[in-house]
Structure 1
Amino acid sequence: MPIIAIEEHWSMPDLTAALHALPHPDESLVFGEMDDNQERLEDLEAGRIAAMNAQGVDVSILALTPPGTQSLPPGEALALSRAANDVAAAAVARNPARLRSMSTLPMSSPKDVPAELERAASMGHVGTMVYGRSGDLFLDDPVYDDFFGVASELGQPVFIHPQLPSRAVRDASYRGFDPMTELALATFGWGWHLDAATAALRLILRGTFDRHPDLQIVLGHWGETLLFWLDRANSISRTAGLQRSVSDCVRSNFHITASGMLNPAHLHHALSVTSVDRLMFATDYPFQRPTKEEIGSFLGHFSSETERQQFSSGNAASLFGIGL
């Protein structure tokens, strides 16, 4: 059974240097520098293919590791987004049977986003990865509506990845511990996921899917808590004057990845609030590294061979246009 992993991170030294040179560098950059993560992130060649082979992954969809280019000034964000898209496209061209890629966009320069998405799509990028906020601009700000319109027209799925919450949110909710505990609480332990879920929910409440009914969004980590709070979130639908409810948008416009969290309880809950054709495999490489045996064991929790195939590769192949 082929396996497509759709949230497999990489990094580019020039971008990493630019992010570290900012007056207030994103503290989550440290996660890419722990253990051998940096070496793995920068390797788009034999080492990455060897890691895929060890896990039994047939195709990896590359996506730049957080925070991407969104925290950079507009001109620098555009230049480095274009460079990243060129590098990723070249890596795919060298290994077309094993790699695909999601584009990086200069979200801090909204006027440049649609054109770069079009350019990246023409190069073969199968989707794009963005974050919920660029400076003070939320992803649902009207300045991004042209971007979502182009993504919908081109059939480019938009992956909303977690990012470090704003300084104001961190000050209000995540302070009072030693620095590393504060960072863990604000990122992988809690804050990342609430931040991404909020960005997704705001898109729905802004009426994005009423205007762009064919737009497809991807959320990692079993829906970034949103699937587990749909009953309450759904109650906002009428207040916001939506044509469709929050839960209807989730079931029609959202796809959910496991992000290496191979917990059967999460799977069973996801299947209770959305359908199996909306679920996809991902390892969140190199931050999560499930073994081939762990992946095989998890796939055994599906009720049929058809559902296993949908989750492991069929849904991703259909959404991202990947031939197997």
Structure 2
Amino acid sequence: MRIVTLEEHVSFPELSISKPTAAAQHMQAKLADITGERLSSMRATGIAMQVLSVENTDVYALPDSEAPAFATKYNDLLAEKMKDHRESFTAFALLPMTTPAAAADELERTVKTHGFQGAMIKGTILGEFLDAPKFAPVFERAQQLNVPLYIHPGVPPQAVIDAYYSNVGDTTGPNEAIACYGWGWHSETAIHILRLFAAGIFDKYPDLKIIIGHMGEMLPMMWTRMNGIFKQGKRSLIETFKAQLFITTSGIFTQPQLQLAIDTIGIDNILFSIDYPFSTNQMGIDFLHNIQLPAEQIAKIAHGNADRLLRLK
């Protein structure tokens, strides 16, 4: 069975500016590798293709005069590193989101020049969510190009860290596990999606497709309650999300959570992902092979939905 994974990270030390998170530091060698251990592991576990995306958000910290060139350099380097194995790799672009017009142009350039499949946007942009009107050019261009935007968690703004995730018990400073990969950034991504809905972004761009990871970033648990509370435009929250939101399995390899996602957003909107190298390919494949669904539904999760959404050959 063909297997495609969509949330698989890279980070190149030669283009690093800021200090990565502790988790990323630990994984730096694996993040920098594409055609060595990564490709060998894919072949050993039967993964046909990874969609690669840049792990860090250094581009957000750069002055507006420098961010577009940095993003271009990073995307070109990523394309160069995977050029000899395009049957195994494609990518989501890194965008200079602090300069939205340039970000839209970079999205178009990478799609048309490198064959990238869309873009990954990590967290808030210097504390701003994507419902801010200034980011409209990126949504407009993604819809025009018919490529999705993958909204991935990012490190919370410092004010949020200070208010919610610091001074836990008798400790001082932030608790990274609560603030980031254990809870905080997942709930923030859910808030991000709800803000887009409440701001009317999905109605304004009805052909826009948004992807989120980690089995829906907590949204499926609140599905029915949200639908009864959030009112925006002509469509309900559930109708809107089933038309425009896609969920990947990245890093969540448990059957009850998968079933909840299927019961809410539906089988056609679920995409298989691993979150490599923060999760291993073997962990993901073991989960996939243990799914108790008809073969045709497993095939949708494994590759069919991704092939359709990303128009993969």
Same fold (TM over 0.5): yes
The DSSP-based 3-state class of the residue aligned with 2:8 is strand
In 2 relative to 1, CA 245–71 (structure 1 residues): closer, same or farther, beyond 3 Å? farther
What is the alpha-carbon distance in structure 2 between the residues aligned to residue 255 and residue 71 of structure 1? 29
Question: For 1:139, which of 130, 134, 137 is the aligned residue?
Answer: 130
2:148 is equivalent to residue 149 of structure 1: no
Shift of 1:296: 4.0
1:2 is matched with which residue? Answer: 2
Contact 1:68 1:104 in 2 (8 A): no
Shift of 1:181: 6.9
Contact 1:106 1:113 in 2 (8 A): yes
The 5-angstrom pairing of residues 227-242 of structure 1 reads: 227-238=220-231, 241-242=232-233
What is the alpha-carbon distance in structure 2 between the residues aligned to residue 118 and residue 297 of structure 1? 35
The DSSP-based 3-state class of the residue aligned with 2:5 is strand
The 5-angstrom pairing of residues 244-323 of structure 1 reads: 244-291=235-282, 295-323=285-313
Question: For 2:84, which of 65, 70, 94 is the aligned residue?
Answer: 94
Question: For 2:185, which of 188, 192, 204 is the aligned residue?
Answer: 192
What is the alpha-carbon root mean square deviation over aligned residues? 1.8
1:45 is matched with which residue? Answer: 35
Shift of 1:274: 1.4
Shift of 1:176: 1.5
Question: For 2:25, which of 13, 28, 33 is the aligned residue?
Answer: 33
The 5-angstrom pairing of residues 94-243 of structure 1 reads: 94-123=84-113, 124-177=115-168, 178=171, 182-238=175-231, 241-243=232-234
What is the alpha-carbon distance in structure 1 between the residues aligned to residue 123 and residue 204 of structure 2? 19
Contact 2:91 2:117 in 1 (8 A): yes
2:15 is matched with which residue? Answer: 15
Contact 2:215 2:248 in 1 (8 A): yes
Contact 2:166 2:173 in 1 (8 A): no
What is the alpha-carbon distance in structure 2 between the residues aligned to residue 115 and residue 45 of structure 1? 29
Contact 2:59 2:67 in 1 (8 A): yes
What is the aligned residue count?
Answer: 310
Letter aligned with residue 39 of structure 1: A
Structure 1, 306-315 or 58-67: larger mean CA deviation:
58-67
Letter aligned with residue 269 of structure 1: L
2:51 is equivalent to residue 58 of structure 1: no
1:83 is matched with which residue? Answer: 73
Q: What are the ranges of 5 or more consecutive residues in structure 2 without an aligned counterpart?
A: none
Structure 1, 1-10 or 71-80: larger mean CA deviation:
71-80
Shift of 1:180: 8.4
Letter aligned with residue 176 of structure 1: N
The DSSP-based 3-state class of the residue aligned with 2:44 is helix
The DSSP-based 3-state class of the residue aligned with 1:194 is helix
Instruction: Give the percent of matched residue pairs that are identical in Structure 1 and Structure 2.
Output: 32
What is the alpha-carbon distance in structure 1 between the residues aligned to residue 166 and residue 286 of structure 2? 40
Contact 1:131 1:139 in 2 (8 A): no
Structure 1, 132-141 or 256-265: larger mean CA deviation:
132-141
What is the alpha-carbon distance in structure 2 between the residues aligned to residue 297 and residue 85 of structure 1? 31
Shift of 1:212: 0.7
The DSSP-based 3-state class of the residue aligned with 1:62 is strand
Shift of 1:299: 3.2
Letter aligned with residue 92 of structure 1: M
What is the alpha-carbon distance in structure 2 between the residues aligned to residue 85 and residue 145 of structure 1? 22
Q: What are the ranges of 5 or more consecutive residues in structure 1 without an aligned counterpart?
A: 21-27
Shift of 1:156: 1.1
What is the alpha-carbon distance in structure 2 between the residues aligned to residue 179 and residue 67 of structure 1? 26
Superposition TM-score, scaled by structure 2 size? 0.93
Contact 2:242 2:266 in 1 (8 A): yes
Cα displacement string for residues 25-76 of structure 1 (whole angstroms, at most 9, x for unaligned residues): xxx5221111xx1111111222221121233211011011143522333233
